[in-house]
Chain A
Amino acid sequence: MGWFRTVRDSRAGAEAAASARSRDPIHIRVRDLHKRYGPHHVLKGVSFDVHRGKTNLVIGPSGSGKTVLMRQLVRLERPDEGEVRVDGVDFAKLRGLELDEARRTFGMVFQMSALFDSMSVYDNVAFPLRERLGLPPKEVRERVMARLESLGIADAAGKLPSALSGGMQKRVAVARALVLESPVLVYDEPTTGLDPITTRTVDDLIVEMQERFGLTSIVISHDMASVFRIADYITFLYYGEVHASGTPRELLESLDAPTMEFVEASGVSAEILDARRYSRTSAQSAT
């Protein structure tokens, strides 16, 4: 049982450290991250901050390394160099049981939802509770139904994912990512391939989750319309390097050439930004 106590102690220590730092507005500090695949240098020293309780966007052209960056953050892969400090703990260096424990920090919503297609919606959401926490069926049931209800998909509990629309699948994926109560939720291109109306629903969902549960959200996207609708902070990744990082307004005012070009191509201007921000806040105060 020795190792068990060590793990619990280190976890208790980490939690204490976390609560001490939890007023730090920067939740995750990514510093000088490198990733190579053979001769192909994809991430060339990426550094940026993820703000606590905010919606943080990572944007950039196709092939710029956004998905690769996400895979390093949630430790689907191990970065070659650099740090991913989450509340002071460097995730890039973790291994074994510590890494297993740390994985609970991140909930992940994959691009095509990645629901287990052989399981019902209910079992998909119950899966992490059964596998990770080994909870008794009654408690699993309570937690799963609470999540499904809060996302308005309780009726779909018995259905298979393939019987749901893209927007519904996304909701199930969010429910599954939320059920372990991870403090950080990562979305990889959540709206790619969805129609404009569903895109808007998913955007609203992201903002709603962040506001209702105080989650830190990281959203990878190149759908510029939704980027400026939901972003509190934006990081612009351009072929493995960060060219701009800050609020949407700071990005609009950036003088960096690729950033200017990317923003211009998206057709977003300061006036539109003001209007969109306004519509979003008024919509929220209305509800």
Chain B
Amino acid sequence: MARRAAEVALAPFAEVGALARMLSEAVFWGARPRYRGRVIVESMEFVGVGSIFIITVTGLFVGAVLGLQLADGFREFGAENQTGAVVGLALAREIGPVFAALMVSSRAGSAITTELGSMRVTSQIDALVTMAVNPVQYLVVPRLIAGVVMVPVLTMLFNLVGMFGAWFVCVKLLAIDSGIFLERMRWLVDWADVRQGLIKAAVFGLAVCLIACRQGFFAGGGAAGVGRATNRSVVHSAIAILMLDYLITGLVLGQGLF
């Protein structure tokens, strides 16, 4: 009983340890040949290009809703002209990277776990080993690179589309002046905000793909086991994204951590 409780309490630490180990192996194997450009491009295509649709649609509506809500709230103080500025800031610093990473996790991360998991349970990963092809180098490294590169790109896309959604609602539907909306936004949002968002996006991208790979790579227990691993992959990713978000924000703002 006590032992079971201890296991449950220690599980998150064991999980973080397993992730750290996979990451260090990926760094080790990523640094030495062979370098598989084609496989990396394919992974980027899958993670990045494959997520354009969901990012565009969710970005549009998130931006629109933010515009609607904030304009409504600001109207109380007669400050609805500030809507563009605040939407821009929220998207660039927080909502863009967090949403883009969550979308990538639910679309690409789950697919990565399922793919690697079924490769594991059908011995395809063992087959790689017997051919002396390192499976971390061949399967994990390209996916991590894809995550680190493509989630920031997708975040930019999310921000752009989100801004458009907010602009459309505020200017076209709520009759806020377009010039003021954009001018206020440019005034408040600067490069440091965008940079903070992109750094977050890169870290989230790494975390999402690392978690997805780790869950798939060590899946067991047949098709049902792969299903459970996919489930865990999405849940762990969501938790990791929001915890890392707080951590990075705390570091950047230099407060709230200790």
A residues in contact (CB < 8 Å) with B: 71, 74, 76, 100-101, 103-104, 106-108, 110-112, 114-118, 127-128, 131-132, 134, 180
Which of B124, B126, B131, B133: most chain A Cβ within 10 A?
B131
| B247 close to chain A: CB less than 8 A | no
In the complex, the chain B residue whose C-beta lies closest to that of A99 is B132
A35 to chain B, nearest CB (A): 16
A195 to B133, CA, bound (A): 33
| B69 close to chain A: CB less than 8 A | no
Find out whether the CB atom of A114 lies under 8 angstroms from the CB atom of B122.
Answer: yes
Find out whether the CB atom of A131 lies under 8 angstroms from the CB atom of B133.
Answer: yes
Find out whether the CB atom of A114 lies under 8 angstroms from the CB atom of B124.
Answer: yes
Task: Add 12 more A-B contacts to A114-B124, A116-B127, A132-B133 (CB < 8 A).
Answer: A76-B126, A103-B130, A110-B123, A110-B127, A112-B122, A116-B124, A117-B118, A117-B122, A118-B115, A127-B131, A131-B131, A131-B133
Which of B115, B122, B129, B132: most chain A Cβ within 10 A?
B132
Residues in B whose Cβ lies below 8 Å from that of A71: 126
A197 to B105, CA, bound (A): 46
A161 to chain B, nearest CB (A): 10
A112 to B127, CA, bound (A): 11
In the assembled complex, 28 residue pairs joining A and B whose CB atoms fall closer than 8 Å, in A order, are: A71-B126, A74-B130, A76-B126, A76-B130, A101-B132, A103-B131, A104-B132, A107-B130, A108-B126, A108-B127, A108-B130, A110-B126, A111-B123, A112-B122, A112-B123, A114-B122, A114-B123, A114-B124, A114-B126, A115-B124, A116-B127, A117-B118, A117-B124, A118-B115, A127-B131, A131-B133, A134-B34, A180-B131
B217 to chain A, nearest CB (A): 14
Find out whether the CB atom of A132 lies under 8 angstroms from the CB atom of B132.
Answer: yes
Nearest 7 Cβ contacts at the A-B interface: A114-B123, A110-B123, A114-B127, A103-B132, A108-B130, A100-B132, A128-B131
B residues in contact (CB < 8 Å) with A: 34, 115, 118-119, 122-124, 126-127, 129-133, 138
Residues in A whose Cβ lies below 8 Å from that of B131: 103, 127-128, 131-132, 180
Residues in A whose Cβ lies below 8 Å from that of B138: 131
Residues in B whose Cβ lies below 8 Å from that of A180: 131
Find out whether the CB atom of B123 lies under 8 angstroms from the CB atom of A106.
Answer: no
A107 to B122, CA, bound (A): 17
In the complex, the chain B residue whose C-beta lies closest to that of A107 is B130
A112 to B123, CA, bound (A): 8
B16 to chain A, nearest CB (A): 23
Residues in A whose Cβ lies below 8 Å from that of B34: 131, 134
A118 to B133, CA, bound (A): 17
B50 to chain A, nearest CB (A): 14
In the complex, the chain A residue whose C-beta lies closest to that of B138 is A131
A100 to B34, CA, bound (A): 14
Given contacts A111-B123, A112-B122, contact A76 B129 (CB under 8 A): yes
A73 to B112, CA, bound (A): 31
Residues in B whose Cβ lies below 8 Å from that of A110: 123, 126-127
A101 to B132, CA, bound (A): 8
Residues in A whose Cβ lies below 8 Å from that of B126: 71, 76, 108, 110, 114
B124 to chain A, nearest CB (A): 5
A110 to B125, CA, bound (A): 11
B126 to chain A, nearest CB (A): 5
A106 to B118, CA, bound (A): 24
Which of A104, A116, A131: most chain B Cβ within 10 A?
A131
A21 to chain B, nearest CB (A): 23
Residues in B whose Cβ lies below 8 Å from that of A107: 130
A130 to B131, CA, bound (A): 11
Residues in B whose Cβ lies below 8 Å from that of A76: 126, 129-130
Residues in B whose Cβ lies below 8 Å from that of A128: 131, 133
Residues in B whose Cβ lies below 8 Å from that of A112: 122-123
A39 to chain B, nearest CB (A): 15
Residues in A whose Cβ lies below 8 Å from that of B122: 112, 114, 117
In the complex, the chain A residue whose C-beta lies closest to that of B125 is A114
In the complex, the chain A residue whose C-beta lies closest to that of B127 is A114
A101 to B131, CA, bound (A): 10
